[in-house]
Amino acid sequence: MRAVSFLRGMLVVGLIALAACTSKEVSTTLTMTVAAKPFDFSVPAKGELVSAEEVTINAPSGNRGRLTLAWMKEENSRVTAGDVVARFDGTEHELEKQRAELELEKNSLSRNITARGLDQGQFAIVQQAGEVAQEKAMVERFSVDDLTVYSKNEIIDQLLSKDYLAAQQLYLDWRQGSQKNQGEAQLQLLSLEGKNYQDKIKLRQSALEHLEVLAPADGILIHAKNWRGEKVRAGQTLWPGSKLSSIPSLEKLQARLYVLETEAAGIEIGQQADVVLDAYTDRPLSGKVVALANIAAPQDTRSPTKYFEVTVALDQSDSSFMRPGQKLQGTVKVAYKESALSIPNQAVFKNEQESWVYLKNRSGFSRKIIQTGLRSLTQTEVVVGLEPGDQVALLKPAGEIL
């Protein structure tokens, strides 16, 4: 009996100790009370001011090959229509022009030699044909109809001489025509080559005359970016017609925001956005989303992080302090609810199949399956599974298995 009483006493002590430990664990686990409150789902972003309208300045489009930018007017400089804003290196064009001029001189010399050779050849053939014609006429003139006067051999020689001269005359006629056709074809080919060299000279001369790029309008000069996101600068090589710079309108500015790919869910055209310039934090701006990129892309080729480009049309533009290119911070208001149950993101646990929280009860914590709605950077909306007044753990309670 004493042994049974002792065991009962030890069991009671163990239960009391276990209850004390459980109570201690519950008391040390941070919790929060669920309550209905306004839910503001806003996505933060960084970006810069851009102009909704601009006059584009391109590299000369009439040139062939790549162009080397020798000089460019400083960015954000005020320019007047007609001012020189960029100048390209003309060394290559000058060398190519000189090469074409030299080839044209060689071509001209070849044409003169070919034409002179053709004339001399034609003259020689005509002269030889004349001699053959005279000889043939003489043979025909002194031929005798009475064949009895001549011996058989003399008659044969006379006939052969006459046939030979006729054949030689035909050959000279053919040779004259053939030589003339070949000579004229060669001269035509040289003329085409000469025209090609003349076109090259004109092209290079035109390039030399258009090495300077002029501002098409008054305004502020903004340098363009290449495909790597780098500003165009002196020393770079550009393709003809590529964008060099622009003169944006200061009367209609937009905010170009870059939103992380993982945070862009829910952003749509028409949503409200707030913007603050880094240089003028005391002058907040607002607007609406008017464009959203279809795919995310990295801002820097050296970083794999991708962003969605979001364009916000601002409600106002003030040229007294707003300039294209100014850096800014912005938030896009994706959703807003007057009353919603939301809990901190850290209180939501999930796997591939479901989401849950650890709900506080009398004995400790129990896992409660929930359905979530909107999710901001700090809060998650709970659609099903919780009621106002419920208490949930902010961290996984000790002893719980995910």
| Domain span holding position 182 | 92-209
Same domain, 78 and 97: no
Q: Residue 71: inside a domain, yes or no? A: yes
For residue 143, pLDDT beyond 70: no
- The confidence score (pLDDT) of residue 11 equals 42
Q: How many H helices and E strands in the chain?
A: 3, 22
Q: Residue 265: inside a domain, yes or no? A: no
- The confidence score (pLDDT) of residue 142 equals 58
- The confidence score (pLDDT) of residue 164 equals 77
Same domain, 196 and 145: yes
Answer positive or negative: Cα dihedral of 262, 265, 269, 272.
Answer: negative
Amino acid (1-letter code) at residue 233: R
User: Is the CB of residue 371 less than 8 Å from the CB of residue 336?
Assistant: no
Same domain, 69 and 174: no
Please tell me the number of Cα atoms within 13 Å of 196 on its side-chain side.
9
Amino acid (1-letter code) at residue 226: N
CB atoms within 10 A of CB 156: 11
Cα end-to-end distance, the chain, whole Å = 45
Same domain, 101 and 199: yes
Q: Residue 312: inside a domain, yes or no? A: no
Non-local CB neighbours of 323 within 8 Å, separated by 6+ positions? 49, 76, 220, 250
Q: Residue 276: inside a domain, yes or no? A: no
Non-local CB neighbours of 397 within 8 Å, separated by 6+ positions? 25, 26, 29, 358, 364, 365
Which of 81-85, 174-178, 185-189 has the least mean pLDDT? 174-178
286 secondary structure, DSSP code? E
- The confidence score (pLDDT) of residue 159 equals 52
Same domain, 135 and 189: yes
Q: How far is CA 282 from the centre of its chain?
A: 37
Write out pLDDT tens, residues 60-116: 887 677 889 999 999 989 999 999 999 999 998 899 999 999 999 999 999 999 999
Same domain, 232 and 161: no
Mark which of 209, 240, 264 sits at the end of a domain. 209
Amino acid (1-letter code) at residue 120: Q
Q: pLDDT-based confidence at 157, cuts 50/70/90?
A: low
**Phi and psi, residue 192, nearest 5°:** -65, -40
Question: In the chain, how many domains are there?
Answer: 2
Closest CA to 158 of 145, 169, 170: 145
Euclidean distance between CA atoms 332 and 283, whole angstroms: 17
For residue 10, pLDDT beyond 50: no
- The confidence score (pLDDT) of residue 74 equals 94
Q: Residue 127: inside a domain, yes or no? A: yes
Closest CA to 50 of 249, 244, 315: 249
Same domain, 68 and 127: no
Same domain, 189 and 244: no
Same domain, 197 and 97: yes
Q: pLDDT-based confidence at 271, cuts 50/70/90?
A: very high
C-alpha pair distances (Å), 229 with each of 126, 226, 399: 74, 5, 51
Q: Residue 329: inside a domain, yes or no? A: no
Closest CA to 393 of 349, 354, 341, 340: 349
Query: Averaged over 139-153, what is the pLDDT?
Result: 55
Same domain, 112 and 179: yes
Euclidean distance between CA atoms 255 and 327, whole angstroms: 9
Q: Which two tokens stand for residue 106?
A: 């060689």
Top-ranked range on mean pLDDT: pick from 11-20, 199-208, 223-232: 199-208
29 — alpha (psi -120 to 50), left (phi > 0) or beta? beta
Q: Residue 25: inside a domain, yes or no? A: no
Q: In what order do the strands lie in the sheet with 212-214?
A: 212-214, 84-88, 67-72, 237-238
Q: How far is CA 226 from the centre of its chain?
A: 7
Mean of the per-residue pLDDT values for the chain?
Answer: 85
Q: Are strands 54-58 and 243-248 parallel, antiparallel or unpaired?
A: antiparallel
Query: Averaged over 47-63, what is the pLDDT?
Result: 89
Euclidean distance between CA atoms 395 and 198, whole angstroms: 82
Q: Which two tokens stand for residue 384?
A: 């099903």
Query: Averaged over 160-166, what is the pLDDT?
Result: 73
Q: pLDDT-based confidence at 182, cuts 50/70/90?
A: very high
Same domain, 119 and 156: yes
Same domain, 126 and 204: yes
For residue 1, pLDDT beyond 50: no
Mark which of 184, 209, 234 sits at the end of a domain. 209
Which of 57-61, 75-79, 228-232, 248-252 has the least mean pLDDT? 228-232
Q: Residue 43: inside a domain, yes or no? A: no
Query: Averaged over 33-39, what is the pLDDT?
Result: 90
- The confidence score (pLDDT) of residue 2 equals 42
Q: Kindly report the pTM of this predicted structure.
A: 0.56
User: Is the CB of residue 101 less than 8 Å from the CB of residue 200?
Assistant: no
**Phi and psi, residue 46, nearest 5°:** -120, 160
Maximum separation of any 2 CA atoms in the chain, in Å: 181
225 secondary structure, DSSP code? B
